[in-house]
Amino acid sequence: MDRKFQLNNFDLLRLFAAVEVLLLHSFPRLQLPFPAFFKIMSNFPGVSMFFVMSGFLISASLERNSNLKNYFKNRALRIFPALWACIILTVIIIALSTQISFINKDALPWFFSQCIGIIYTPAFLKDFGFGSYNGSLWTIPLELQFYLVLPVLYFVVNKLSKNETYRTIIIGFIFLIFCILTYLIKIYLTKGEFEVETTLQKSLRYTFIPNIYLFLFGVILQRLKVYKSNLIYGKGLIWLIGYIIINYLIPTSAETYILKLLALGVTTISLAYTAPLTANKILKGNDISYGVYIYHGLVLGFFVELELFKNSIHILSILLITVVLAILSWQFVEKPFMRRKKKTIHEVTKVDVI
Protein backbone atom coordinates (compact mmCIF):
# COMPACT_ATOMS: atom_id res chain seq x y z
CA MET A 1 0.00 0.00 0.00
CA ASP A 2 1.22 3.50 -0.86
CA ARG A 3 2.17 5.50 2.20
CA LYS A 4 -0.17 8.40 1.55
CA PHE A 5 -0.62 11.19 4.04
CA GLN A 6 -4.41 11.13 3.61
CA LEU A 7 -4.75 7.43 4.50
CA ASN A 8 -4.72 7.36 8.29
CA ASN A 9 -6.62 6.54 11.47
CA PHE A 10 -6.82 10.03 12.93
CA ASP A 11 -10.63 10.02 13.09
CA LEU A 12 -10.53 6.89 15.26
CA LEU A 13 -7.67 8.16 17.44
CA ARG A 14 -9.45 11.47 18.03
CA LEU A 15 -12.57 9.58 19.08
CA PHE A 16 -10.53 7.51 21.52
CA ALA A 17 -8.98 10.69 22.92
CA ALA A 18 -12.38 12.35 23.33
CA VAL A 19 -13.80 9.33 25.16
CA GLU A 20 -10.74 9.24 27.43
CA VAL A 21 -11.36 12.85 28.42
CA LEU A 22 -15.07 12.12 28.95
CA LEU A 23 -14.30 9.26 31.34
CA LEU A 24 -11.54 11.21 33.09
CA HIS A 25 -14.03 13.95 33.94
CA SER A 26 -17.07 11.78 34.61
CA PHE A 27 -15.88 9.30 37.25
CA PRO A 28 -14.69 11.82 39.87
CA ARG A 29 -17.58 14.23 39.20
CA LEU A 30 -20.08 11.43 39.82
CA GLN A 31 -18.12 10.36 42.93
CA LEU A 32 -17.13 7.01 41.44
CA PRO A 33 -13.72 5.29 41.63
CA PHE A 34 -11.83 4.82 38.40
CA PRO A 35 -12.30 1.24 37.14
CA ALA A 36 -9.32 -0.97 36.28
CA PHE A 37 -9.67 -0.51 32.53
CA PHE A 38 -9.46 3.27 32.85
CA LYS A 39 -6.26 3.06 34.85
CA ILE A 40 -4.75 1.62 31.67
CA MET A 41 -6.61 4.03 29.38
CA SER A 42 -5.45 7.04 31.40
CA ASN A 43 -1.90 6.38 30.22
CA PHE A 44 -3.09 7.94 26.95
CA PRO A 45 -4.24 11.45 27.94
CA GLY A 46 -6.66 12.62 25.30
CA VAL A 47 -5.82 16.33 25.35
CA SER A 48 -2.12 15.61 24.77
CA MET A 49 -2.99 13.33 21.86
CA PHE A 50 -5.24 16.04 20.41
CA PHE A 51 -2.47 18.63 20.53
CA VAL A 52 0.07 16.43 18.73
CA MET A 53 -2.44 15.38 16.06
CA SER A 54 -3.54 18.97 15.60
CA GLY A 55 0.03 20.18 15.01
CA PHE A 56 0.65 17.31 12.60
CA LEU A 57 -2.48 17.94 10.54
CA ILE A 58 -2.86 21.71 10.68
CA SER A 59 0.75 22.33 9.63
CA ALA A 60 0.20 20.03 6.65
CA SER A 61 -2.92 21.99 5.76
CA LEU A 62 -1.06 25.31 5.90
CA GLU A 63 1.79 23.93 3.79
CA ARG A 64 -0.65 22.63 1.15
CA ASN A 65 -2.30 26.03 0.87
CA SER A 66 -0.45 28.99 2.37
CA ASN A 67 -3.24 31.46 1.55
CA LEU A 68 -3.97 32.90 5.00
CA LYS A 69 -7.54 33.88 4.12
CA ASN A 70 -8.33 30.26 3.29
CA TYR A 71 -6.35 29.00 6.26
CA PHE A 72 -8.29 31.07 8.81
CA LYS A 73 -11.58 30.43 7.04
CA ASN A 74 -10.96 26.69 7.20
CA ARG A 75 -10.05 26.83 10.87
CA ALA A 76 -13.12 28.92 11.68
CA LEU A 77 -15.44 26.58 9.78
CA ARG A 78 -14.07 23.64 11.73
CA ILE A 79 -14.28 25.16 15.21
CA PHE A 80 -17.05 27.73 15.41
CA PRO A 81 -20.29 26.32 13.90
CA ALA A 82 -20.29 23.30 16.23
CA LEU A 83 -19.24 25.50 19.15
CA TRP A 84 -22.10 27.92 18.46
CA ALA A 85 -24.59 25.08 18.35
CA CYS A 86 -23.22 23.77 21.65
CA ILE A 87 -23.46 27.20 23.33
CA ILE A 88 -27.03 27.74 22.12
CA LEU A 89 -28.07 24.29 23.34
CA THR A 90 -26.37 25.03 26.65
CA VAL A 91 -28.46 28.17 27.15
CA ILE A 92 -31.67 26.33 26.24
CA ILE A 93 -31.02 23.36 28.55
CA ILE A 94 -29.95 25.43 31.55
CA ALA A 95 -32.79 27.92 31.11
CA LEU A 96 -35.43 25.18 30.89
CA SER A 97 -34.09 22.83 33.56
CA THR A 98 -32.85 25.17 36.31
CA GLN A 99 -33.75 28.38 38.09
CA ILE A 100 -30.81 30.17 36.45
CA SER A 101 -31.86 33.22 34.44
CA PHE A 102 -30.02 34.53 31.40
CA ILE A 103 -31.78 37.87 31.70
CA ASN A 104 -28.97 39.79 33.37
CA LYS A 105 -26.21 42.23 32.48
CA ASP A 106 -23.54 39.52 32.31
CA ALA A 107 -25.35 37.06 30.06
CA LEU A 108 -25.00 38.80 26.70
CA PRO A 109 -21.26 39.59 27.01
CA TRP A 110 -20.70 36.00 28.19
CA PHE A 111 -22.66 34.56 25.24
CA PHE A 112 -20.78 36.50 22.59
CA SER A 113 -17.44 35.81 24.31
CA GLN A 114 -18.11 32.08 24.15
CA CYS A 115 -19.06 32.35 20.48
CA ILE A 116 -15.65 33.83 19.61
CA GLY A 117 -13.80 31.25 21.71
CA ILE A 118 -13.12 33.24 24.88
CA ILE A 119 -14.31 30.54 27.25
CA TYR A 120 -15.13 31.25 30.88
CA THR A 121 -17.87 30.56 33.42
CA PRO A 122 -19.61 33.74 34.65
CA ALA A 123 -20.77 34.21 38.23
CA PHE A 124 -24.42 33.55 37.40
CA LEU A 125 -23.53 30.08 36.08
CA LYS A 126 -21.23 29.04 38.94
CA ASP A 127 -24.04 27.14 40.65
CA PHE A 128 -24.76 24.94 37.63
CA GLY A 129 -23.36 21.41 37.66
CA PHE A 130 -19.87 21.26 39.11
CA GLY A 131 -19.16 24.99 38.93
CA SER A 132 -18.41 25.16 35.22
CA TYR A 133 -21.12 25.22 32.58
CA ASN A 134 -18.91 23.09 30.32
CA GLY A 135 -15.42 22.34 31.62
CA SER A 136 -14.35 20.56 28.44
CA LEU A 137 -14.28 23.78 26.41
CA TRP A 138 -11.16 25.14 28.14
CA THR A 139 -8.92 23.85 25.32
CA ILE A 140 -10.80 25.77 22.61
CA PRO A 141 -8.90 29.03 23.35
CA LEU A 142 -5.66 27.02 23.27
CA GLU A 143 -6.42 25.59 19.83
CA LEU A 144 -7.29 29.06 18.55
CA GLN A 145 -3.98 30.36 19.90
CA PHE A 146 -2.16 27.50 18.15
CA TYR A 147 -3.90 28.45 14.90
CA LEU A 148 -2.69 32.04 15.28
CA VAL A 149 0.86 31.13 16.30
CA LEU A 150 1.46 28.65 13.46
CA PRO A 151 1.35 31.07 10.48
CA VAL A 152 3.41 33.58 12.45
CA LEU A 153 5.96 30.85 13.16
CA TYR A 154 6.08 29.83 9.49
CA PHE A 155 6.43 33.47 8.40
CA VAL A 156 9.40 34.03 10.71
CA VAL A 157 11.06 30.71 9.87
CA ASN A 158 10.60 31.28 6.12
CA LYS A 159 12.26 34.69 6.48
CA LEU A 160 15.21 33.18 8.32
CA SER A 161 15.94 30.47 5.77
CA LYS A 162 14.89 29.27 2.33
CA ASN A 163 16.15 25.75 3.00
CA GLU A 164 13.40 23.38 4.21
CA THR A 165 15.81 21.35 6.31
CA TYR A 166 17.09 24.44 8.09
CA ARG A 167 13.52 25.63 8.59
CA THR A 168 12.65 22.38 10.32
CA ILE A 169 15.76 22.68 12.48
CA ILE A 170 14.71 26.21 13.52
CA ILE A 171 11.23 24.95 14.43
CA GLY A 172 12.93 22.17 16.39
CA PHE A 173 14.97 24.74 18.31
CA ILE A 174 11.82 26.73 19.13
CA PHE A 175 10.15 23.48 20.19
CA LEU A 176 13.01 22.81 22.64
CA ILE A 177 12.66 26.30 24.09
CA PHE A 178 8.99 25.67 24.81
CA CYS A 179 9.82 22.26 26.30
CA ILE A 180 12.17 24.00 28.73
CA LEU A 181 9.57 26.67 29.51
CA THR A 182 6.96 24.00 30.17
CA TYR A 183 9.36 22.15 32.46
CA LEU A 184 10.14 25.30 34.43
CA ILE A 185 6.47 26.20 34.70
CA LYS A 186 5.64 22.71 35.92
CA ILE A 187 8.33 22.88 38.61
CA TYR A 188 7.93 26.42 39.88
CA LEU A 189 4.42 27.57 39.11
CA THR A 190 1.94 24.68 38.94
CA LYS A 191 0.40 22.50 41.57
CA GLY A 192 -0.81 18.93 41.31
CA GLU A 193 -4.15 18.00 39.81
CA PHE A 194 -7.28 18.94 41.79
CA GLU A 195 -5.32 21.42 43.98
CA VAL A 196 -6.33 25.08 44.08
CA GLU A 197 -4.66 27.20 41.41
CA THR A 198 -3.39 30.73 41.87
CA THR A 199 -4.44 33.42 39.40
CA LEU A 200 -1.03 33.23 37.71
CA GLN A 201 -1.23 29.44 37.37
CA LYS A 202 -4.72 29.57 35.92
CA SER A 203 -3.76 32.35 33.51
CA LEU A 204 -0.78 30.35 32.29
CA ARG A 205 -2.87 27.21 31.82
CA TYR A 206 -5.09 29.07 29.38
CA THR A 207 -2.19 30.34 27.26
CA PHE A 208 -0.26 28.51 24.57
CA ILE A 209 3.04 28.86 26.45
CA PRO A 210 2.99 25.62 28.54
CA ASN A 211 0.97 23.68 25.96
CA ILE A 212 2.27 24.43 22.49
CA TYR A 213 5.31 22.14 22.71
CA LEU A 214 3.09 19.15 21.89
CA PHE A 215 1.54 21.02 18.96
CA LEU A 216 5.03 21.93 17.71
CA PHE A 217 6.13 18.32 18.12
CA GLY A 218 3.31 17.34 15.79
CA VAL A 219 4.48 20.02 13.33
CA ILE A 220 8.02 18.60 13.38
CA LEU A 221 6.84 15.01 12.89
CA GLN A 222 4.79 16.13 9.92
CA ARG A 223 7.62 18.12 8.34
CA LEU A 224 9.95 15.14 8.74
CA LYS A 225 7.32 13.00 6.99
CA VAL A 226 7.70 10.33 9.63
CA TYR A 227 4.58 8.58 8.32
CA LYS A 228 6.73 7.33 5.43
CA SER A 229 9.47 6.01 7.70
CA ASN A 230 9.90 2.28 8.18
CA LEU A 231 10.33 3.03 11.88
CA ILE A 232 6.83 4.54 12.09
CA TYR A 233 4.62 3.24 9.28
CA GLY A 234 2.91 -0.01 10.26
CA LYS A 235 4.78 -0.15 13.58
CA GLY A 236 1.95 1.12 15.80
CA LEU A 237 1.75 -2.04 17.91
CA ILE A 238 5.49 -1.96 18.61
CA TRP A 239 5.38 1.71 19.61
CA LEU A 240 2.28 1.04 21.72
CA ILE A 241 3.95 -1.76 23.66
CA GLY A 242 7.12 0.27 24.04
CA TYR A 243 5.22 3.30 25.30
CA ILE A 244 3.29 1.25 27.86
CA ILE A 245 6.53 -0.33 29.14
CA ILE A 246 8.19 3.09 29.42
CA ASN A 247 5.15 4.55 31.14
CA TYR A 248 5.05 1.87 33.81
CA LEU A 249 8.77 1.36 34.36
CA ILE A 250 9.79 5.02 34.54
CA PRO A 251 8.17 7.00 37.39
CA THR A 252 6.41 10.18 36.31
CA SER A 253 8.15 13.32 37.53
CA ALA A 254 8.74 16.84 36.30
CA GLU A 255 11.79 15.47 34.46
CA THR A 256 10.04 12.54 32.76
CA TYR A 257 6.55 13.98 32.22
CA ILE A 258 7.36 15.79 28.97
CA LEU A 259 9.45 12.91 27.61
CA LYS A 260 6.59 10.47 28.20
CA LEU A 261 4.13 12.70 26.36
CA LEU A 262 6.54 13.03 23.44
CA ALA A 263 6.76 9.22 23.32
CA LEU A 264 2.97 9.17 23.29
CA GLY A 265 3.05 11.63 20.40
CA VAL A 266 5.22 9.35 18.27
CA THR A 267 3.06 6.38 19.25
CA THR A 268 -0.07 8.27 18.19
CA ILE A 269 1.33 9.08 14.75
CA SER A 270 2.54 5.50 14.28
CA LEU A 271 -0.92 4.15 15.20
CA ALA A 272 -2.45 6.58 12.71
CA TYR A 273 -0.41 4.98 9.93
CA THR A 274 -0.71 1.35 11.01
CA ALA A 275 -3.48 -0.47 9.14
CA PRO A 276 -4.47 3.03 7.98
CA LEU A 277 -7.84 2.03 6.51
CA THR A 278 -9.15 0.89 9.90
CA ALA A 279 -10.77 4.20 10.85
CA ASN A 280 -12.63 4.48 7.57
CA LYS A 281 -13.88 0.91 7.82
CA ILE A 282 -15.25 1.51 11.32
CA LEU A 283 -16.43 5.12 11.14
CA LYS A 284 -17.21 5.33 7.40
CA GLY A 285 -15.79 8.84 7.25
CA ASN A 286 -17.87 10.15 10.15
CA ASP A 287 -15.77 12.15 12.59
CA ILE A 288 -17.79 12.62 15.78
CA SER A 289 -14.79 13.23 18.03
CA TYR A 290 -15.18 17.02 18.21
CA GLY A 291 -18.84 16.63 19.14
CA VAL A 292 -18.02 14.11 21.86
CA TYR A 293 -15.40 16.47 23.24
CA ILE A 294 -17.45 19.67 23.35
CA TYR A 295 -20.76 18.13 24.49
CA HIS A 296 -19.66 15.77 27.24
CA GLY A 297 -19.01 18.58 29.72
CA LEU A 298 -22.55 19.91 29.28
CA VAL A 299 -24.10 16.44 29.68
CA LEU A 300 -21.94 15.72 32.73
CA GLY A 301 -22.87 19.06 34.28
CA PHE A 302 -26.56 18.22 33.87
CA PHE A 303 -26.09 14.87 35.61
CA VAL A 304 -24.27 16.58 38.48
CA GLU A 305 -27.03 19.19 38.64
CA LEU A 306 -29.53 16.34 39.12
CA GLU A 307 -27.23 14.82 41.77
CA LEU A 308 -27.01 11.49 39.96
CA PHE A 309 -24.01 10.29 41.92
CA LYS A 310 -22.40 6.95 42.78
CA ASN A 311 -24.04 4.85 40.09
CA SER A 312 -21.83 3.54 37.31
CA ILE A 313 -24.79 3.21 34.95
CA HIS A 314 -24.79 7.01 34.72
CA ILE A 315 -21.35 6.90 33.09
CA LEU A 316 -22.79 4.81 30.27
CA SER A 317 -25.77 7.19 30.04
CA ILE A 318 -23.47 10.21 29.74
CA LEU A 319 -21.48 8.45 27.02
CA LEU A 320 -24.58 7.46 25.04
CA ILE A 321 -26.22 10.89 25.26
CA THR A 322 -22.97 12.57 24.30
CA VAL A 323 -22.49 10.29 21.30
CA VAL A 324 -26.04 11.02 20.10
CA LEU A 325 -25.40 14.76 20.37
CA ALA A 326 -22.06 14.32 18.59
CA ILE A 327 -23.69 12.41 15.72
CA LEU A 328 -26.34 15.12 15.35
CA SER A 329 -23.61 17.78 15.46
CA TRP A 330 -21.62 16.00 12.77
CA GLN A 331 -24.56 15.36 10.46
CA PHE A 332 -26.36 18.69 10.72
CA VAL A 333 -23.67 21.21 11.67
CA GLU A 334 -20.09 20.12 11.13
CA LYS A 335 -20.32 18.16 7.88
CA PRO A 336 -22.35 20.82 6.02
CA PHE A 337 -19.82 23.49 6.99
CA MET A 338 -16.92 21.15 6.18
CA ARG A 339 -18.24 20.99 2.62
CA ARG A 340 -17.78 24.73 2.37
CA LYS A 341 -14.28 24.30 3.71
CA LYS A 342 -13.32 21.75 1.07
CA LYS A 343 -14.27 24.17 -1.69
CA THR A 344 -11.57 26.56 -0.49
CA ILE A 345 -8.57 24.26 -0.86
CA HIS A 346 -6.89 22.74 -3.88
CA GLU A 347 -6.22 19.31 -2.49
CA VAL A 348 -9.38 17.79 -1.02
CA THR A 349 -8.55 15.62 1.97
CA LYS A 350 -10.06 14.81 5.36
CA VAL A 351 -6.92 15.38 7.36
CA ASP A 352 -6.91 19.04 8.36
CA VAL A 353 -9.20 18.88 11.37
CA ILE A 354 -8.74 19.60 15.05
Q: Note down pLDDT in tens along the chain; length 354 residues.
A: 568 999 999 999 999 999 999 999 999 999 999 999 998 999 999 999 999 999 999 999 999 998 999 999 999 999 999 999 999 999 999 999 999 999 999 999 999 999 999 999 999 999 999 999 999 999 999 999 999 999 999 999 999 999 999 999 999 999 999 999 999 988 876 554 445 667 777 778 889 999 999 999 999 999 999 999 999 999 999 999 999 999 999 998 888 999 999 999 999 999 999 999 999 999 999 999 999 999 999 999 999 999 999 999 999 999 999 999 999 999 999 999 999 875 444 444 444 555
Sign of CA dihedral 109, 115, 120, 124: positive
User: Which one-letter amino acid corresponds to residue 143?
Assistant: E
In contact, 67 and 80? CB cutoff 8 Å: no
Whole-number Å distance between alpha carbons of 85 and 137 = 13
Sign of CA dihedral 318, 319, 324, 325: positive
CA atoms within 13 A on the CB side of 140: 28
Whole-number Å distance between alpha carbons of 228 and 222 = 10
Rounded to a whole number of angstroms, the CA Rg of the chain reads 20
CA atoms within 13 A on the CB side of 327: 8
Q: Where are the domains of the chain?
A: 10-342
> Closest Cα partner for 217 from 14, 54, 39?
54
Query: Exposure pattern of 31-52 as b/e (b: 16+ CB <10 Å)?
Result: eeeeeeebeebeebbbbbbbbb
Phi–psi pair at 345, nearest 5 degrees: -120, 155
